[in-house]
Structure formats: structure tokens, C-alpha cells
């Protein structure tokens, strides 16, 4: 069983984008128009997209959420964000129903700058988990899209969401959306900054003390964190925080990083117990690597090539750690494994 723990529906049919476009036209009085997407369109988008690559690359199940750069929390206020997020989570639910052995849902949240999570975010998480059967969420620490106007993740502002995450036993992946600040590029500097910043916000907080069982996942191999491990450890010592390695042992990191050297660096720095295999395929980096002749996001071969990984290590990386981070996925994965 190979779980790819980080995938977005980047290939969603045009009907989803048409819904989004209508939101600009009806921005003053948001309306939840019907979304015109057929099952055949969904099948085609996946069978020529993520599912095709899953088959070619030998991965079994993807944790699948709405396209991250399109979450667009900076646009339109809480009602616009709510309708848009519901539509996208509902489309993910249809994906999961059409291919129950291949996709497990992770939701996006209807965030808006300055709108506290109890006003919509908590409710949508509850709906996604209880009604749609999703197993996690993506949390954007900067709904402003590059102006960083919201309180840091350690602030009690976010605690209603954390309470619900703990109650439902679902993790949050710290994931940015598009930037509307031209200082940044979305998938380049902004995503990396979101990763670093979200990590440091949690490090500089008592969130794990207040929620001992809460789970967070760092995407993109953790931005700068593994490479700058010594800087962050030194800063933690200076601040007399909880021992840095204990903090790190509570975080999960995915492998959505695209070179052999970086993959090995990640595993050696973070350790095999806290890393989840993930490709973020058909994601931000869609190009062929001239070094390998493969797409950059075809990154499972990097793990396969690491000779010092034992079978037990690989079982953790490809399956076990994903189930530790996303406990609600366990029953589904076991049912798939038993062919049921």
C-alpha cells in the first residue's frame, strides 16, 4: 500500500472555474449557483490526470483536497469563501465516491482575513469530516494572500479550530493559497514562506501544550526547515522553548520535494518516523527535470533509491506515518487492503 499524502484536484473540470468566475459578478450579493460538472467530466479529468499518474508511478491511494492556489481566501469575504469552499469540497466528495479505492478526501476551509474560525471554518470542517467522510484539512496561516494580517497560529484566535480538529481527530496541513501581493510568487516564494512561517508560529506557541494530541503536517518537504534545522534549534535554545527535537517529533513533514539530495537530507534530518510520502503530483511544479528525464513531481524513485531505508522504514513512509497523521483514514485503508 502506497499512500500519496498530498494531492490537489488541480485538474477539476471547467464547471468549477465557471462557478468561481460568477463569484466576481455576484460579489456584492453572493449566490451559491449550481455547479455544472458531470461524473464523466470528473472521470476524464482524473483518468487523464492524477489517476493515470498514480497507475504509472505505482501509488495506490491519494489524500486529495481542492486545488490549493485556488482556495483564494483573500477574495470576497466569508460568504464568498464559504460557498466556494463548499463547492470544492463537494466535488472532492464526488471524486472519492467515484474512486473509493484511490482517493480519500481532505478539505479546504472557508477562511477569510480577520474572520475567526468559529464563524464558518469550524462548521465546514465538521461537515467535511462527519458528512463527507474526509480525514483532514488544509489550514492557511495567511488568508490575506501575502500581507500576513491574521494572528499567528499560536494565537487563541485559532483555538476553536484546534478544538474541533482534536475532537474529530483530524490533522491540518499548513498550506498557503495564491498570493495577491506582487512581492511574491505563489508556488515559489509564497508557499515556502507559508511553510516556514507556519512552522515558526507553532514553534513559538503553546499549541502542543494546550492540545497534546493535535497533528500538523508540513508540506513541500518543510520549506526551509530541514536545511535550516540548526538555526531553528539554536533559536529555540535561546528562547528557552521546549526542546526543539521534541517539538519536531510532534510534526509531520511530507516528501513533496524534488531531488535525490533533498529527499535524503529531509529523511536524515527529520527521521523516518515523521515523514509521509507525498508527490503533490500535477501540482505547482509541472516540468521535466533535465537531470532525470522525469517530471519533477515523479519523486517516488528518490525514496526507492535510498539503500539505507529498511522495509520497515518504507512501510512507515508509504503507509504507517500517513495513518498516524490522518487516523481517520485507517479504516478506509484497511478496507481497501482487504479488497472490500
Burial class (CB in 10 A: 0-12, 13-18, 19+), 112: buried
Between 168 and 207, CB nearer to its own copies: 207
**3-9 and 216-218 as β-strands: parallel, antiparallel, unpaired?**
unpaired
Active site residue 126: no
Task: Find out whether 153 and 197 touch, Cβ atoms under 8 Å.
Answer: no
The CA-CA-CA angle for residues 31, 43, 109, to 5°, reads 40
CB of 226 to its own copies, least distance (A): 6
Q: Which of 246, 280, 288, 307 is catalytic?
A: 280
- Residue 105: phi, psi to the nearest 5? -80, 140
Q: State the Cα–Cα distance between residues 109 and 107, nearest whole angstrom.
A: 6
Between 29 and 287, CB nearer to its own copies: 287
CB of 280 to its own copies, least distance (A): 10
Between 83 and 162, CB nearer to its own copies: 162
Give the number of other Cβ atoms within 10 Å of residue 239's Cβ: 11
CB of 166 to its own copies, least distance (A): 24
Q: Is the dihedral of CA 288, 254, 50, 84 positive or negative?
A: negative
- Residues making contact with its own copies (CB under 8 A): 141-142, 146-152, 181-185, 187-189, 192-193, 196-197, 199-201, 203-204, 220-221, 223-224, 226-235, 237-238, 257-259, 261-262, 265, 268-269, 284-290, 296
Between 212 and 290, CB nearer to its own copies: 290
Residue 221 CA, chain-centre distance (Å), reads 12
CB of 14 to its own copies, least distance (A): 22
Active site residues: 280
Amino acid at each position: 500500500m502506497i499512500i500519496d499524502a498530498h494531492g490537489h484536484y488541480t485538474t477539476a473540470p471547467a464547471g468549477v472555474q465557471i462557478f468561481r468566475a460568477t463569484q466576481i459578478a455576484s460579489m456584492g450579493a453572493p449566490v451559491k449557483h449550481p455547479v455544472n460538472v458531470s461524473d464523466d467530466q470528473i472521470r476524464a479529468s482524473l483518468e487523464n490526470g492524477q489517476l493515470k499518474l498514480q497507475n504509472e508511478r505505482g501509488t495506490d491511494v491519494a489524500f486529495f483536497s481542492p486545488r490549493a492556489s485556488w482556495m483564494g481566501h483573500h477574495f470576497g469575504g466569508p460568504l464568498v469563501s464559504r460557498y466556494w469552499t463548499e463547492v470544492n469540497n463537494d466535488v472532492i466528495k464526488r471524486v472519492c465516491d467515484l474512486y473509493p479505492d484511490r482517493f480519500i478526501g481532505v478539505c479546504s476551509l472557508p477562511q477569510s482575513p480577520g474572520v475567526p474560525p468559529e464563524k464558518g471554518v469550524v462548521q465546514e470542517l465538521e461537515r467535511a469530516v462527519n458528512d463527507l467522510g474526509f480525514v483532514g484539512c488544509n489550514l492557511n496561516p495567511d488568508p490575506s494572500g501575502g500581507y500576513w494580517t491574521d494572528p499567528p497560529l499560536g494565537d487563541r484566535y485559532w483555538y476553536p479550530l484546534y478544538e474541533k480538529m482534536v475532537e474529530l481527530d483530524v490533522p491540518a496541513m499548513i498550506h498557503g493559497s495564491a498570493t495577491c501581493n506582487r512581492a511574491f510568487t505563489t508556488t515559489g516564494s509564497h508557499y515556502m514562506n507559508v511553510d516556514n512561517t507556519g512552522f515558526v508560529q507553532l514553534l513559538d506557541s503553546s499549541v502542543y501544550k494546550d492540545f497534546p494530541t493535535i497533528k500538523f503536517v508540513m508540506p513541500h518537504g518543510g520549506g526551509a526547515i530541514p536545511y535550516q534545522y540548526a538555526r531553528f534549534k539554536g533559536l529555540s535554545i535561546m528562547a528557552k522553548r521546549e526542546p526543539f527535537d521534541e517539538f519536531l517529533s510532534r510534526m509531520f513533514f511530507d516528501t513533496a520535494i524534488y531531488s535525490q539530495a533533498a529527499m535524503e537530507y529531509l529523511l536524515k534530518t527529520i527521521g523516518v518516523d515523521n515523514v509521509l510520502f507525498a508527490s503533490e503530483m500535477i501540482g505547482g511544479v509541472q516540468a521535466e527535470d533535465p537531470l532525470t528525464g522525469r517530471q519533477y513531481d515523479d519523486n517516488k524513485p528518490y525514496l526507492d533509491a535510498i539503500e539505507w531505508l529498511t522495509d520497515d522504514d518504507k512501510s512507515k513512509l508509504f503507509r504507517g506515518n500517513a495513518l498516524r497523521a490522518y487516523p481517520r483514514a485507517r479504516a478506509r485503508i484497511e478496507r481497501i487492503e482487504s479488497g472490500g
